[in-house]
Amino acid sequence: PSMPIPGVQGVSDDQLFTLLNVCLVGWFILGLPKSWRPLQFRAIVLALCGVFGAIYAATLAGAVFGGDIPAGAGFDTLEGVVTLFRSRAVVFSGWVHYVCFDLLAGLWITQDSEATPQGVPHVLIALLVLPLTLVAGPAGLLLYLALKAAFTRRAGAGASA
């Protein structure tokens, strides 16, 4: 097993990958009704994202400076990106990026829905939007924005009636 973080001995990428599942704690908290969440839920989720950010930076640095970037890799062409993701170290780092940013999107969705008068009911956030955001981030965000527009339009129509 490879070492994903330079200078950290005894931790394989497989072990660290499994540890990333702690993100599910954040998703669980976001799915709870507002009155059931810990008072510092935002700080908990942001702390998780901070840890994931540090792991991302360290694993990315390890991939770049450890020589794990394949020849021909880059962001300027699709083929360059495909080549980049042939590296296990880069895929691992990319997964950490995904875990971190999708959780941040879930936090934003939860907070925005609660700050919007006549917003999307939390039951829809918890049962539809957050699970979709967990597995397919941008699709979950799109669903939230569509639901928010529909509920806002409905609330506006009800107010003018």
pTM of the model: 0.91
Per-residue model confidence as pLDDT tens digits over 13-68: 899 999 999 999 999 999 999 999 999 999 999 999 999 999 999 999 999 998 89
- Residues 56, 93: contact at Cβ < 8 Å? yes
Average pLDDT score over residue span 63-74: 93
Lookup result for tokens 């991302």: 56
pLDDT at 160: 56
- pLDDT > 60? residue 161: no
Mention every residue, 6+ apart, whose C-beta is less than 8 A from residue 102: 133, 134, 137, 140
Q: How far apart are CA 58 and CA 111, in angstroms?
A: 29
Alpha-carbon gap, residue 128 to 52, rounded angstroms: 25
* Residue 115 pLDDT exceeds 70: yes
